[in-house]
Amino acid sequence: MKYEIVTYPHVTLTKKVDYDYFAVPGDLPFPTEQYEVEFTSDVGEIITCACSVFEYHVLHEGDCGELVVNDHQIIRFADKIKELKEDSSAD
Protein backbone atom coordinates (compact mmCIF):
# COMPACT_ATOMS: atom_id res chain seq x y z
CA MET A 1 0.00 0.00 0.00
CA LYS A 2 1.35 3.39 -1.00
CA TYR A 3 0.74 6.34 1.30
CA GLU A 4 0.49 10.00 0.40
CA ILE A 5 3.45 12.21 1.21
CA VAL A 6 2.22 15.20 3.21
CA THR A 7 4.08 18.49 3.69
CA TYR A 8 3.37 20.79 6.63
CA PRO A 9 4.94 24.22 5.94
CA HIS A 10 5.56 25.14 9.58
CA VAL A 11 5.32 22.92 12.64
CA THR A 12 6.75 22.94 16.15
CA LEU A 13 7.97 19.82 17.95
CA THR A 14 5.86 19.76 21.10
CA LYS A 15 6.50 16.35 22.66
CA LYS A 16 8.96 13.43 22.60
CA VAL A 17 8.00 9.99 23.91
CA ASP A 18 9.99 6.80 24.35
CA TYR A 19 8.40 3.66 25.68
CA ASP A 20 8.85 -0.08 25.90
CA TYR A 21 6.74 -2.13 23.51
CA PHE A 22 5.92 -5.67 24.57
CA ALA A 23 5.19 -7.92 21.63
CA VAL A 24 2.59 -10.64 21.81
CA PRO A 25 3.57 -13.01 24.64
CA GLY A 26 5.75 -15.82 23.35
CA ASP A 27 7.13 -13.90 20.36
CA LEU A 28 9.86 -11.92 22.08
CA PRO A 29 10.91 -12.34 25.69
CA PHE A 30 12.14 -8.74 25.96
CA PRO A 31 10.45 -5.42 25.16
CA THR A 32 11.67 -3.24 22.32
CA GLU A 33 12.11 0.47 22.80
CA GLN A 34 9.93 2.65 20.55
CA TYR A 35 10.25 6.38 19.84
CA GLU A 36 7.61 8.92 18.82
CA VAL A 37 7.55 12.66 18.38
CA GLU A 38 4.56 14.96 18.26
CA PHE A 39 4.40 18.13 16.17
CA THR A 40 1.80 20.92 16.21
CA SER A 41 1.04 22.86 13.03
CA ASP A 42 0.25 26.57 12.86
CA VAL A 43 -3.47 25.72 12.69
CA GLY A 44 -3.29 23.46 15.77
CA GLU A 45 -3.22 20.09 14.00
CA ILE A 46 -1.32 17.40 15.93
CA ILE A 47 1.00 15.20 13.85
CA THR A 48 2.42 12.12 15.58
CA CYS A 49 5.37 10.34 13.94
CA ALA A 50 7.37 7.25 14.75
CA CYS A 51 11.11 7.81 14.58
CA SER A 52 14.45 6.09 15.00
CA VAL A 53 16.59 6.42 18.10
CA PHE A 54 18.94 8.67 16.09
CA GLU A 55 16.11 11.00 15.01
CA TYR A 56 14.76 11.02 18.57
CA HIS A 57 18.07 12.29 19.96
CA VAL A 58 18.62 14.84 17.17
CA LEU A 59 15.24 16.49 17.70
CA HIS A 60 14.43 18.79 20.61
CA GLU A 61 11.15 20.14 21.92
CA GLY A 62 10.61 23.60 20.47
CA ASP A 63 12.33 22.83 17.12
CA CYS A 64 10.42 24.48 14.25
CA GLY A 65 10.37 24.11 10.48
CA GLU A 66 8.88 22.35 7.49
CA LEU A 67 7.84 18.72 8.06
CA VAL A 68 7.40 16.10 5.33
CA VAL A 69 5.86 12.77 6.38
CA ASN A 70 4.75 9.54 4.75
CA ASP A 71 2.47 7.27 6.81
CA HIS A 72 3.60 8.77 10.14
CA GLN A 73 7.28 8.38 9.20
CA ILE A 74 9.45 11.51 9.01
CA ILE A 75 10.98 12.03 5.58
CA ARG A 76 12.35 15.51 6.23
CA PHE A 77 12.19 18.06 9.05
CA ALA A 78 13.78 21.51 8.94
CA ASP A 79 17.57 21.18 8.81
CA LYS A 80 17.56 18.28 11.31
CA ILE A 81 16.39 15.30 9.22
CA LYS A 82 16.90 14.88 5.49
CA GLU A 83 15.71 12.07 3.24
CA LEU A 84 18.53 9.69 2.39
CA LYS A 85 17.42 8.54 -1.04
CA GLU A 86 15.10 9.64 -3.79
CA ASP A 87 12.02 7.60 -4.63
CA SER A 88 13.03 5.93 -7.90
CA SER A 89 9.47 4.71 -8.56
CA ALA A 90 8.35 8.29 -9.33
CA ASP A 91 9.85 8.18 -12.85
**pLDDT value, residue 24:** 65
Instruction: Give the sign of the dihedral formed by CA 68, CA 71, CA 75, CA 80.
Output: positive
**pLDDT value, residue 90:** 47
**pLDDT value, residue 31:** 73
**pLDDT value, residue 21:** 77
| 6-65 per-position pLDDT tens digit | 999 999 999 999 988 776 665 656 777 889 999 999 999 999 999 999 999 999 999 999
Instruction: Report the Cα 78 to chain-centroid distance in Å.
Output: 13
* Average pLDDT estimate for 59-77: 95
Residue 52 CB partners (closer than 8 Å, separation 6+) = 35
**pLDDT value, residue 60:** 96
Predicted TM-score (pTM) of the model is 0.78
| Dist. CA 79–CA 67, nearest whole Å | 10
